[in-house]
Chains A and B, each alone.
Chain A
Amino acid sequence: RKEVEQDPGPFNVPEGATVAFNCTYSNSASQSFFWYRQDCRKEPKLLMSVYSSGNEDGRFTAQLNRASQYISLLIRDSKLSDSATYLCVVVLGAGNMLTFGGGTRLMVKP
């Protein structure tokens, strides 16, 4: 079983739609969680951290469910520019080892 699992998609949605991605992790000792965004043929960039209480940044909302060991990313009012691959990232303990999921590809259509 992979340590961090994501549905690879693609998720094809129209502009203005709301879309949600989930990511599951296997190690219950994981302590830090992030969503990264990767555009085609570019490097990944941090989209947002995921806090225990959940957090929101504009149209993006991230949630953490420790009991079920998953994190989610909700995108409201999708824009064409949201088309990208979204990578779930988990950090074990207080170390600096990041484990990446395989990514979920989102395509927003006009």
Chain B
Amino acid sequence: NAGVTQTPKFQVLKTGQSMTLQCAQDMNHNSMYWYRQDPGMGLRLIYYSASEGTTDKGEVPNGYNVSRLNKREFSLRLESAAPSQTSVYFCASLTGASSYNEQFFGPGTRLTVL
């Protein structure tokens, strides 16, 4: 099992460009998440998907859109990138069966917006 995979690992964008961050999990998990992590800060939730076909906003959704393509894949789109979106982006998943569940993270995407 690969666990949670993310592509790309690194990306540099110019202000105003768009891009999609891809995430996939092979653990048959119901719930998937997108976080951003800025220097010296914890993880902040951007969007999540409790199950296939549903998505909800998290703490910092502005400037982002998501798609839960199927049970395995959950993508994050930046329509018009801004320097404030320079961050490390982590995708995560968990089974959703109970509260005492481990959340598994992908290796992250390091995004720089110039």
Contact = CB atoms under 8 A, between A and B. Distances in A.
Interface string A89-110: 1010111111011110000000
Interface stretch (B14-22, B68-76, B77-85, B98-106): B98-106
A91 B101 CA distance: 10
A46 B43 CA distance: 14
Interface residues of B, number: 24
Task: Give the bracket for the number of chain A residues in contact with chain B.
Answer: 20 to 34
Contacts of A87: 42-43
B107 A8 contact: no
A100 B48 contact: no
A54 B44 CA distance: 27
Given A89-B103, A91-B99, 18 more contacts: A8-B40, A31-B99, A32-B100, A41-B108, A43-B90, A43-B107, A43-B108, A44-B43, A87-B42, A96-B31, A96-B50, A96-B94, A96-B96, A96-B101, A98-B45, A98-B103, A100-B35, A101-B42
Interface of A: 4, 6, 8, 31-32, 41-46, 49, 87, 89, 91, 93-98, 100-103
